[in-house]
Structure 1
């Protein structure tokens, strides 16, 4: 129904069940225990991220290398190899585009939302947040992005930021998009002063609980009454809680950990489905809902729906528990999935398969350096003068000065210093193979990084790049899905803030299309029913908006420019003026839009609507001219020699016709119909011997008895006020003239 209003309540009877819907301490504890029993994947992810950051040698390995004299060496190939994928995302990054999901939806509303979404994308940091989430996605398998409203009124109202994976805990058995997840928890540490500002009603509880109840006078804690009874219960809850204290309280640093718990409650409710596909929850307090059901226009249906709620906990102490502050009824955190283990569901990505080869590369580097500087000595015992420790240090020097015992050498002593260069060459070959293997396990070929290693032609080079794209297709497709979800959440916040608020949105056509201003939520009145409604109601299209990706990177624009330039060269000359503004719009030049507008004005290029209008006018004028010529031919063929009585009838009809034509001409001037009326009047007046409306008749054009009525311009009192009357008089006069001629 057009007048049906969505109910903003949380459901019939929801207020009565508010207490039962809140999250209890036992249920919250169950969530934390489930998280504790999840697969231990976070430690592996931290190690994989360290390798990507170049931290690849721990203290134990460095100590062992120092014992045998091997110098530490690191060639961090994992980071640059994976960064090539990040560069691919930046290269192909696109803007969100709002499209109406149905043909009958208002395109103006979609254009207005598209403008507001682009503005929010740029100012909320959405692109940077998605890129950071992609970095974690392709390295360790999971990244997170938060989409919500900014609490600081001096900043942009929407906030999109990446969240570290170790802050987020979720229902392990939920779908990847968390559509059926029971809970999602974010843990974050704060100084005690921040939570006290966030929850001023619990400032005393936060102060005492965060300090371990130091300074609290327990003699004032009474169960029977008093202001401190709540503190007594809160302190007692900590004694029986099974979660360790260090997970939420740090007295040494004066910090506490807040748990931001998003959870779902399922309920059986009655819903109404409208013919246009919208679904609203039935509210018996809404008169439109009751009337629609009573009139049989809508049929109520029972359904099981989920409601999202938000609770804040500081250890066992609940600080807040309310319905979700957002209308989209989804968690405001979007996961960016890389890959998941089949048995456990643990996330992983490209870094896992690269670690072994990265360790091998580092080991080969260290060992190669050691072997190139190592010296192997074969000597007879006692052949060298001095202690062995000094000898080892001396023989390792390139300018070594070793003193031999002459007596031992005369008695057949041996002393030789050897270097095994062949073994070093083998190590170098293994190092090269490990470098190539690290790229292969990640599906990233050297050509993908811009290195023409083994290819011999451009076709082979492009083929290798395409193979890399195919091997990364799964991860990149997951990224596209997650980024679209971020855009949908951001769009829902924009719609939520725009509901019922009239706003004018200016849409810049950038010289290609005409600039326009769209007014959304504009109050209007139906002329037929008298019902007041909102024109371009943004709430009605909330469920009919899709988000699509439109590439906007510099390289993509360059490709478009090259393709457009080739098409422009090969286009026929008559089409090139039409294509030129579109070609210029792809160029990054100053004042591009002004140049496009100037070219269109000079070229007198018309829009398709204007061209169609001009064609229609030309056809209409041609048809009018053809009809007049046909009528005049008939008149000339049928005009007999008439007597005086017929001449008199013609004279009277002509006088009336001239008078009517004059009025019709004046009416045409008033209603801007001169291009159509003027040819008709001109032909008819010329047929009676008049060249112009205000000129006397031509001598000999008609019989002398014809005396045209000379009317001055703008003297007919009917013409200025009612042009239709003058036009009607002209038509009647023409009909009388035609009748007289027929007689």
Structure 2
């Protein structure tokens, strides 16, 4: 007999039993620590918010009876805000790298763009800030990631934030990763309309007939420890159909996801990777898996069962469409199931600071009216009761009888020296266990900006553990996005992406199409359902510091001689209208050239060519003169060789003409050699030895 063949009574009995089992599991989680956690988390939130919530109600009543002040010097909020501010200015950047199958670098880039589009559509950065704040204040923060079909028929990934007081992880688990949890339970308060909208008409009918245990307080004084935050005050009382004239009736709903070992359909890839299949995949998806080498079979796997119920009515019971929990946790400090936030260790110093300051102020107040010592019946213008009441008033006039001792002011006790030291020690300890002054950037004006940034960087090491756990949570969210893209973004979709042109700085739009069938190739364009990818999660640094650093480096490169374009320098500046300035620069560079400027450029080129020609002519004349000198020297040497006796006369003539001997004297050495017959000379005046001057003519030739 199948489930559908069972009689209605059997279905109802099974549903009632499952609802009771679900309720008992909820009660087990509450008693195993969740009640204590909610009370502690509410107290921690009060220490962050302040405004009177750092004092317990009992302490306030005692101080009020004693007439003593209850001051709050909230040092917790600025510390948490500094830590959250660091997270705000460090955005998550998701990227993918191809790992196996049909994955390619181009498809990984497309997948990265789709992931960024999903993150922007979900406003992930703002929601991450909320989760980070929940963790730092109340020890725990939770995302809820699932597909939503309200805005798109094909479905869009939806990321929301859960109240940590409503989420109950497996009390017997000790792992950070939900993959190692047996179950996770979320407690909700829903109206009948909300139940019908989420789980159907039949679920509403079953909920209407349920006892709905605890639905009369709507979270005020819950059985799991404490009330929940809301816009209304905590003492607003009941709000149901009986008292609100037809107002919405709310029921406590237990939403539980648990892992169950069951036989299911899976795809086994050649590399050994196993992917769970929900069983409702389209035939073309299965065929594509087979084309990628996957083997479709059935095997025992841990599946997620999703059960939603009230205390005695089953609203929803089916296999989860996902192979993982929708809850993604963030724990700033985690030790095998024990969670802590930044406020935990600040409670003690903050209490000591508040009490020490209140005591100090109380001591100061008592010194203003420390009392009077008055002789009996000595006052004439007032009674002792009036002096007691108005004795600390400014301009008080006291008249006493003649012969009586004047009233004496009782000297108050001095403020104990230990009180101010307690204040200093508590304030210093608060900064040590949270965020030091260096990270807050509160140094005086005598400290340079670079030194402040260096100290801030060093102080960030104190946030290393929470930031590392935040990176772990980010990786889980990014892995969820990757899973959703592969399984649920399997139809043709068009994304309109707005980005900034890196060259012009202008914002441009482009369309990105995924899973588009191309008949020519017989395949899909930008197929997101095939291939396996590694998820890479990185951080973008603080925007102001990053931009200032880029601008400073660009200016330093310019100073070193690197020709950094003006548009690059302006783009990395903090000018609010830098994109418009870049556009104006581009428009100015695109104007037609000035004719006069072109003529001046041509004239400058002509002058340069003329200078080159003149330099070439001077080099030629210098070479010609050098050749003439060498020829004349050779002729002189020939005459001296023929007649050595003329060497002395020639030397004298050389010196008389201003010749400088650059060698050992004499300038023209004597040659002791017999006279030889002169070689045949060319005496034809038409073809002289030197065509320009005729070296064999006149006195230069030595001929008579």
More divergent stretch after superposition (158-167 vs 460-469) = 460-469
C-alpha separation in 2, matches of 1:87 and 1:504? 31
Report the CA distance shift for 1:400/1:74 in structure 2 as closer, same or farther (over 3 A).
Answer: farther
Question: 1:142 deviation in Å?
Answer: 0.8
In structure 2, the residue corresponding to 1:334 is in which secondary structure? strand
| 1:485 matched to 2:476 | yes
Query: What is the deviation of 1:132?
Result: 0.9
Conservation of the 8 A alpha-carbon contact between 2:99 and 2:532: no
2:43 matched residue in structure 1: 47
What's the CA shift for 1:256? 0.9
Structure 2 residue aligned with 1:418, among 411, 424, 443?
411
For residues 482-514 of structure 1, the C-alpha deviation after alignment (integer angstroms, 9 at most, x for no partner) is: 123223324433444421326476675714499
Structure 2: give runs of 5+ residues left out of the alignment.
216-222, 228-237, 244-248, 592-704
Provide the C-alpha distance between the structure 2 equivalents of 1:523 and 1:458, rounded to a whole number of angstroms: 56
Specify which of 294, 302, 306 is matched with residue 302 of structure 2.
Answer: 306
- Map residues 22-41 of structure 1 onto 2, 5 A cutoff: 24-25=18-19, 27-39=21-33, 40-41=36-37
Q: Give the drift of 1:317.
A: 0.8
Q: SS at 1:60's partner residue?
A: helix
Deviation at 1:325, TM superposition (A): 3.4
Aligned pair in 2 of structure 1 residues 515, 382: CA closer, same or farther (>3 Å)? closer
Question: 1:5-49: per-residue Cα shift (whole Å, max 9, x none)?
Answer: xxxxxxxx99999x9999934542442232123232221121111
SS of corresponding position for 2:210: helix
Deviates more, 1:86-95 or 1:20-29: 20-29
Contact 2:332–2:340 under 8 Å retained in 1: yes
- Supply the distance in 1 between the matched residues of 2:128 and 2:285 (Cα, whole angstroms): 41
Q: 1:259 matched to which residue of 2? A: 254
Task: Give the whole-Å Cα distance in 1 for the aligned partners of 2:590 and 2:271.
Answer: 46
Deviation at 1:392, TM superposition (A): 3.2
What is the aligned partner in structure 2 of residue 698 from structure 1?
Answer: none
Which residue of 1 is the match for residue 516 of structure 2? 522
Per-residue Cα deviation, 1:279-338 (whole angstroms, up to 9, x for no partner): 34599x99999999999x878999653212322212221111122234xx2212211102
Instruction: Give the structure 2 partner of residue 133 of structure 1.
Output: 131
**Structure 2 match to 1:563:** 553
Offset of residue 160 of structure 1: 2.4
Aligned partner of residue 152 in structure 1, secondary structure: coil
CA shift digits 1:216-245 (9 cap, x unpaired):
xxxxxxxxxxxxxxxxxxxxxxxxxxx99x
Q: How far, CA to CA, are the matches of 2:571 and 2:272 in structure 1? A: 39
Structure 1 CA distance, aligned partners of 2:442 and 2:214? Answer: 63
Matching of residues 330-729 of structure 1 within 5 Å: 330-340=324-334, 345-374=337-366, 375-377=369-371, 379=373, 382=376, 390-402=386-398, 409=404, 415-420=408-413, 422-423=414-415, 427-442=419-434, 444-452=435-443, 464-501=455-492, 503=494, 508=499, 510-512=501-503, 518-524=512-518, 532-541=522-531, 543-551=533-541, 553-570=543-560, 572-573=562-563, 576=564, 585-587=571-573, 589=577, 591=579, 595=583
Q: Aligned partners of 2:509 and 2:285: how far apart in 1?
A: 40
C-alpha separation between the residues in 1 aligned to 2:570 and 2:3?
A: 58
Tell whether the 8 Å contact from 1:45 to 1:140 is kept in structure 2 after alignment: yes
Verify the 8 A CA contact 2:491 2:515 in the aligned structure 1: yes
**Residues 637-688 of structure 1: CA distance to partner in whole angstroms, max 9, x if unpaired?**
xxxxxxxxxxxxxxxxxxxxxxxxxxxxxxxxxxxxxxxxxxxxxxxxxxxx
Looking at structure 2, the residues matched to 286 and 27 of structure 1 have their Cα atoms a distance apart, in angstroms, of 35
Quote the offset at 1:193 in angstroms. 3.3
For residues 310 and 484 of structure 1, what CA distance do their matches in structure 2 show? 24
* 1:323/1:536 CA distance change after superposition, 3 Å: same
Post-superposition offset of 1:138: 1.4
Q: Distance in 1 between matches of 2:303 and 2:474?
A: 24
Q: Distance in 1 between matches of 2:571 and 2:540?
A: 16
**Aligned partners of 1:533, 1:14: CA distance in 2, in Å?**
41
In 2, are the aligned partners of 1:312 and 1:318 still within 8 Å (CA)? yes
Aligned equivalents of 1:490 and 1:130: distance in 2? 15
* Contact preservation (8 Å) 1:455, 1:461: no
What is residue 70 of structure 1 aligned with on the other side?
68
Structure 1 residues 213 and 583: alpha-carbon distance in aligned structure 2, compared to 1, 3 A threshold? closer
Residue 671 (structure 2) aligns with: none
State the distance in 1 between where 2:99 and 2:288 align: 26
* Conserved 8 A contact 1:210-1:255: no
Distance 1:153 1:129, change over 3 A: same
Partner Cα distance (1:593, 1:121) in 2 = 31
Q: How far did 1:135 drift?
A: 1.0
**Is the contact between residue 98 and residue 114 of structure 1 (CA under 8 Å) also seen in structure 2?**
yes
Structure 2 match to 1:315: 311
* Range that drifts further, 541-550 or 349-358: 541-550
Distance in 2 between residues matched to 1:294 and 1:348, nearest whole Å: 47
Paired with 2:131 and 2:329, the residues of 1 have a C-alpha distance of: 8
**Distance in structure 1 (CA, Å) of the matches to 2:23 and 2:335:** 27
CA contact (8 A) 1:271 1:301 kept: yes
Task: Return the offset for 1:84.
Answer: 0.8
Mapping of residues 95-110 of structure 1, within 5 Å: 95-101=93-99, 105-110=103-108
The CA RMSD over aligned residues, in Å, is 4.8
User: Do the aligned partners of residues 26 and 94 (structure 1) sit closer, same or farther apart at CA in structure 2, a change above 3 Å counting?
Assistant: closer
The answer to whether the 8 A contact 2:179-2:324 is kept is yes
Q: Tell me, what secondary structure is at the counterpart of 2:410?
A: strand
Alpha-carbon offset, residue 78 of structure 1 = 0.9
> Whole-Å Cα distance in 2 between the matches of residues 298 and 541 of structure 1?
11
Q: Describe the SS at the equivalent of 2:32.
A: coil
Q: Distance in 1 between matches of 2:213 and 2:271?
A: 58
Q: Distance in 2 between matches of 1:72 and 1:534?
A: 70
Do the aligned partners of residues 597 and 544 (structure 1) sit closer, same or farther apart at CA in structure 2, a change above 3 Å counting? farther
Aligned to 1:643: none
Contact kept, 8 Å, 1:584 with 1:596, in 2: the verdict is no
Q: Give the 3-state SS of the residue equivalent to 1:376 in structure 2.
A: coil
Measure, in 2, the Cα distance between the counterparts of 1:593 and 1:481: 41
| 8 Å CA contact retained: 1:447, 1:461 | yes
Residue 390 of structure 1 and its aligned partner are, at CA, apart by: 4.3
